[in-house]
Amino acid sequence: MAYDKNNIFAKILRDEAPCFKVYEDDMTLAFMDVMPQAEGHTLVIPKSEAENLFDLDADYAAAMARTTKKVAAAVKKAFDAPGIMIAQLNGAPAGQTVFHIHTHIIPRAEGIDLKLHARQMADMDILKQHAERVIAALD
């Protein structure tokens, strides 16, 4: 499948769609997932037109890994999470719903179930507060 330049993440990168940014550098952007599976669910995307891992340039893959590590530490701290789940889905059969490569950072704790992926929009005021918590926790 050819890369769809009108996917929501491409629009976010072009500032044509809003997001709650928590981190940005020359190669990546991290922001709150609007359909979170848990409080603090954050996404990391490359500033590259790549549908999945197999389309992504190695330098952007490395940048995504660095940003994921940095932001995951902040999410863990901001939400006092005993665990962090890192997920990266490739293709619809794997559960990918937005076809711009992205990594999920999801705080985890025993006894708290995950919500279903890509099902329910979060309250925007709460997402803004969550973003502020992550930003404050970045070292």
Would you name the residues annotated as active-site residues?
Answer: 102
61, 45 contact by CB (below 8 A): no
Q: How many Cβ atoms sit within 10 Å of the Cβ of residue 138?
A: 15
Helix (H) or strand (E) holding 46: strand 42-46
As a whole number of angstroms, the distance between CA 95 and CA 57 comes to: 22
104, 43 contact by CB (below 8 A): yes
* Beta bridge pairs of residue 60: none
